[in-house]
Structure 1
Amino acid sequence: MKSTAALALAAVIAVGGTAGGYWFGTRSATPPAPAADAKPARKLLYYRNPMGLPDTSQTPKKDPMGMDYIPVYEGEAEATPAPAGQVKINAERIQKLGVRTETAELRPLGAQIRAAGRVEPDEQRLYTIAPKFEGYVERLHVNVTGQPVARGQVLFEAYSPELVAAQREYQIAAQGVESLKNAGNEAQAGMKQLAESALIRLRNWDISDAQLRALAKSGAATRTISFQSPVAGIVTEKKAVQGARFMPGDALYQVADLSRVWVMADVFEQDIAAARVGAPVKVRVDAYPDKSFDGRIAYLYPSVNADTRTTPVRVELANPGLLLKPGMFARIEINAGSSAQVLTVPTSAVIDSGTRQVVLIAEGEGRFTPREVKLGSRGEDRVAVLDGLKAGDAVVVAANFLIDAESNLKAALGGFAPPQPAAASVGHKAEGVVESIDVSDGTVMLTHGPVASLKWPAMSMEFKFANPSLQAGLKPGAKVAFEFVERAPGEWVITVIRPAATTSAAHAGH
């Protein structure tokens, strides 16, 4: 009985083991369910140059610097390429780059010509006191250069033997005319002619009528004669010295009437066509930064300075309170605008290559078309468009060069290379250390770590700043995190830069 039970138990165990093995084998052979996050294999399109140059390859290779070409997979290139000559950027990139547009519109073009000049006395209001006879300075009444004088104020008294003799001659002739009243006509005529000759001689020496009347009334010759200021002004030159001898024609005093002055400005050659006689001008000087003086262009000189390529322009203006001093440095603004309506766009909308001018037309849905235009005169912040646009066209006025970097605009314009397959995103991120900064050139030398999006190894290279404000606070040795784009083949521009610690802290918070 015991042996029979043992055999039965062994049989049950064997059957159970066989069934369990079959069940376990069946479970192990069932293929696992696919993972939810598994991605399908991507199709390789081509390999592009790691430095962004217009060079692609169908097989892996290295550039002259030993860097591997970057693979571009299906889906990374533009799904629906833009028409030839058109640029397409997604909405996220447009917002990040800060693209802004304005419409071309008809409006008066306000033009301002700015130039530097200097204040000078009005040459028509300069007066020189120069005796016409020989004599001596007997007494000085005004003996300081720069002293203000009134019209008719005595400047100095002069003694001249020649003048005394001429006065005596006139007195004798006048007395002779009086004594010959009852004489014959011929005698009276001869004496009158002698008296008139003596009088003319005194007048030719600039003896005033008042002095001549006093001489005729007194009947005695005066030893000295007074010289008066012919105008109210400032003594700008004094050569008279008390007791000194002077000769006919010697300039003893110069008096300037500064109630009106000139500003002699140097206007650049390209602005001469817009400047015109009679145009209103605003003049400012450093001495009175809160004041402006109004004047008008009185004369455009007919010559150009070959060294500075400028033309002198004379501005005449009033000088209330004599605030403007000769020799002052002045800045002028000439209103050369016109009331005529012309088609204009903001100056920032124009991309000027030197040989042609191009604007970017916003077509909507992130599409931009470069269009060559012909420009006219320039205003304060706008420029006239003669050909290539019509009123209402939306043009890009901000981030033009970043669109250029984002889309390789030069290739789109067809000026440098044939169209290449669209590359992967050109916005890249990296971290590094600031080696040096060139503020004048707007560049920075960075030692950065590997750039995964470009498959760059760690290295040192030079970047440019998108705008000068990005340089603020940067110092050599600072650790930074930055984003950059390719503005032109081989030209890399930083669009965002911040301390690396801030970035690390932000990731830690997430």
Structure 2
Amino acid sequence: MTRYLALILTFALGAGTGMWFVSYPVRQGDCPATQAERKPLFYRHPMGAADTSPTPKKDEMGMDYLPVYEDELSASRLVNIVPAKIQKLGVRTEKIEKRKLVRSLRAPGSIQVDERRTYAVASKYEGWIQRLYLNATGIAVRRGQPLLDVYSPDLLAAQQEYLNARQRLETLKKRKGHARVAAERVAANALQLLRHLDVGPDQLQQLQAPNAVPLNEMPLLSPVDGVVLEKKAVEGMRFWRGDVLFRIAELSKVWFVADVFEQDLGWVRQGQAVLLQINAYPGREFRGRIDFISPNLEPETRTIKVNVEMPNDGGFLKLGMYGSADLTAAAPSESLALPESAVIDSGTRQVVLIRKGEGVFEPRNVKLGRRAGGYFEVQEGVAAGETVVTHANFLIDAESNLKAALDGMGVAGDRDKPAPVSKAENATSENRSERR
């Protein structure tokens, strides 16, 4: 508050001379006691350069740095705009409050085979392919269906060993003792060896019949219901122990492999329900669950593979079909949030404008978190209940930058500029100067 002293006009007669004493209004902040109580936050360059100092100092021209106090700094951060201009700019505001953020995202992808449901049909012995029943990929097969007939000396030797062990057991059947027990063990081991060599149940039944003889050709059976993905077997070829002849995939369940961008990975979790749309079936929706999230990031696309397990009843879903996955995820708890339109992002900082009063706004730096549903999660910078500008904030920010630039140059504003002088008035003043 400005405190005025009375205007004193005193004529000093006793001293022999007359003097007029004039007292000017004194502001409370100019009092020495008040100045001593206020401590500067820092000192700024007297010419407006971007240089500050925590202690008093002089510039290159010997001028003292100017102190900056807390109240002055706070006032300089505020932007004052007349109500008429606010209405013209179309300023809109919204109160900051806690929300439960919900994010919906869409990821493209395609139908792929479930790697856990693929089977390799490999030989466990050497031999030759006598007859090939599946001569193309993509053919559906059933469990136990013959894929090919083979001739193998290893299989013939194993069959003969079993028949010899069974014949010896028949000889010792009426006898008791260790010899019979040993014969039973040898026959059981020989039969188990045939099972390990993938001899089918029908062939084993033939070998167990009375007067059985070794089979020259033995079928190789499919271990699962599925579709042939790969066929390396060719009729008449020789194969070796361990060679993969077929690859079969069981397609009752498939994977939808979606490409999720790295910035969206925080909203994806294992077991999450997914709504799927396949381009081949427009208007039809499929459902699945996230089964696996790849630990590797694709450097070319900056995406991560997410495998969604989905049923394939009826076999409608074909490998390689394109589609999209729609995921909806909610944050585990409520958090302070503000609208996306309220954030002014310069690349190095994020700023919002807080309404402090009628026509008064304060730019404030904020630290943002996740983004979802048109809102940003706020970690630092604002408090619940404050009002933030959501529309025309860029215009207000421009006004704030202009004010800061004018204050830095020592210009108060357009209202402090002298009125322009017309050419006629300028000429008249020049004539008067010449006459003088």
TM-score by length of 2: 0.67
Q: Measured at CA, do residues 237 and 415 of structure 1 come closer, stay the same or move farther in structure 2, by a change above 3 Å?
A: farther
Residues 198 and 220, structure 2, Cα contact 8 Å, conserved in 1: no
Q: Which has the higher contact order (CA 8 A, sep 6+)?
A: 2
Contact 2:276 2:285 in 1 (8 A): yes
Structure 2 residue matching 1:211: 3-state secondary structure = helix
Partner of 1:99: 91
The answer to whether 1:349 aligns with 2:342 is yes
Select which of 135, 150, 161 maps to 2:153. 161
CA shift, 1:380, in A, is: 2.9
Query: What is the CA–CA distance in structure 1 between the aligned matches of 2:406 and 2:116, rounded to whole Å?
Result: 59
Change (3 A) 1:111 1:189: same
Partner of 1:188: 180
1:287 aligns with 2:293: no
CA distance in structure 2 between the partners assigned to 1:194 and 1:309 by the alignment: 61
Query: Residues 323 and 345 from structure 1, CA distance in 2 versus in 1: closer, same or farther, beyond 3 angstroms?
Result: farther
Aligned counterpart for 2:367 among listed residues 374, 388, 391: 374
User: Paired residue for 2:198?
Assistant: 206
Counterpart-to-counterpart distance in 2, 1:286 and 1:111: 24
Query: Residue 229 of structure 2 corresponds to which residue in structure 1?
Result: 236
Q: How do 1:44-55 residues align onto structure 2 when only pairs under 5 Å count?
A: none
List per-residue Cα deviations over 1:251-295 (Å, max 9, x = no partner): 111111122223444544444444433333344444345344433
Alignment partner of 1:145 is 2:137: yes
Letter aligned with residue 355 of structure 1? T
| Cα distance change on mapping 1:200 and 1:321 into 2, 3 Å | closer
- For residues 122 and 414 of structure 1, do their structure 2 counterparts lie closer, same or farther at Cα, with a shift above 3 Å needed? farther
Of 410, 431, 451, which aligns to 2:401? Answer: 410
Name the counterpart of 2:31: none
Match of 1:111, SS? Answer: strand
Describe the superposition over 1:223-275 as per-residue Cα deviations: whole angstroms up to 9, x where unpaired: 32222222222111111222222222111111111222234445444444444
Q: How does 1:296-307 map to 2 (within 5 A)?
A: 296-305=289-298
Is the 8 Å Cα contact of residues 200 and 221 (structure 2) preserved in structure 1? no
Quote the Cα distance in structure 1 between the aligned partners of 2:133 and 2:264: 50
SS at match of 1:360: strand
Please tell me whether the aligned partners of residues 104 and 344 of structure 1 are also in contact (alpha carbons under 8 angstroms): yes
Determine helix, strand or coil for the equivalent of 1:277. Answer: coil
User: 1:94-493 maps to which residues of 2 (within 5 A)?
Assistant: 94-112=86-104, 114-183=106-175, 185-217=177-209, 219-305=212-298, 310-363=303-356, 365-405=358-398, 407=399, 409-412=400-403, 420-422=411-413
Shift of 1:341: 1.6
For residues 176 and 320 of structure 1, the distance between their equivalents in structure 2, rounded to whole angstroms, comes to: 52
Structure 1 match to 2:30: none
Q: 1:11-90 maps to which residues of 2 (within 5 A)?
A: 84-89=76-81
Deviations 1:377-397 (A, max 9, x none): 221311111233233333222
Using the alignment, how far apart are the partners of 2:149 and 2:414 within structure 1? 93
Deviation of 1:190 after TM superposition, in Å, equals 4.5
Checking the alignment, whether the CA contact within 8 Å between 1:411 and 1:419 is kept in structure 2 is: no
Q: Deviations over 1:69-99 (max 9, x none)?
A: xxxxxxxxxxxxx963333445565455443
Q: Deviations over 1:456-483 (max 9, x none)?
A: xxxxxxxxxxxxxxxxxxxxxxxxxxxx
Deviations 1:428-463 (A, max 9, x none): xxxxxxxxxxxxxxxxxxxxxxxxxxxxxxxxxxxx
CA-based RMSD: 3.3
What CA distance in whole angstroms lies between the structure 2 residues aligned with 1:286 and 1:414? 56
Structure 1: any 5+ residue segments left out of the alignment?
A: 1-81, 425-510
- Give the aligned residue type for 2:125: F
Deviation track 1:88-121 (CA, whole Å, cap 9, x = no partner) reads 4455654554433322222201134554544431
TM-score where L is the length of structure 1: 0.58
Q: Would you say the 8 A contact 1:137–1:241 is kept in 2?
A: yes
Contact kept, 8 Å, 2:148 with 2:221, in 1: the verdict is: yes
Residues 344 and 321 (structure 1), Cα distance of their counterparts in 2 relative to 1, 3 Å cut: farther
* Uncovered stretches (5+) of structure 2, i.e. residues with no partner: 1-73, 416-436
Instruction: Check the 8 A contact 1:86/1:412 in 2, yes or no.
Output: no
Give, in whole Å, the separation in 2 of the partners of 1:365 and 1:155: 84
CA contact (8 A) 1:85 1:412 kept: no
Q: Distance in 1 between matches of 2:178 and 2:334?
A: 82
In structure 2, relative to structure 1, the CA distance for the partners of 1:337 and 1:159 (3 Å cut) is: same
- Measure how far apart 1:165 and its partner are: 3.5
The residue type equivalent to 1:145 in the other structure is: T
Do the aligned residues in 1 keep the contact of 2:111 with 2:320 (CA within 8 Å)? yes
> What SS is found at the alignment partner of 2:214?
coil
Comparing 290-299 with 229-238, greater Cα deviation is found at 290-299
Q: Give the secondary structure class of the aligned counterpart of 2:379.
A: strand
| Alpha-carbon distance in structure 1 between the residues aligned to 2:117 and 2:167 | 41
Q: Match for 2:372: what amino acid?
A: G
Contact kept, 8 Å, 2:89 with 2:395, in 1: the verdict is yes
Change (3 A) 1:260 1:174: same
Distance 1:399 1:153, change over 3 A: farther
Distance in structure 2 (CA, Å) of the matches to 1:378 and 1:344: 9
Q: How many residues in Structure 1 have an aligned counterpart in Structure 2?
A: 341
For residues 103 and 179 of structure 2, the distance between their equivalents in structure 1, rounded to whole angstroms, comes to 77
The answer to whether the Cα contact below 8 Å between 2:200 and 2:219 also exists between their aligned partners in 1 is no
Secondary structure at 1:276's aligned position in 2?
Answer: coil
Q: Distance in 2 between matches of 1:323 and 1:296?
A: 18
User: Cα deviation per residue 1:111-137 (whole Å; 9 max; x = unaligned)?
Assistant: 345545444311110011112112222
Shift of the alpha carbon at 1:220? 3.1
Of the structure 1 ranges 230-239 and 213-222, higher mean CA displacement relative to structure 2 is found in 213-222
The separation in 2 between residues aligned to 1:225 and 1:280, in whole angstroms, is 47
Instruction: Indicate the SS of the match to 1:84.
Output: helix
Q: Measure the CA separation in 1 of the matches of 2:407 and 2:219.
A: 84
In the TM superposition, residue 142 of structure 1 has moved relative to its aligned partner by 2.4
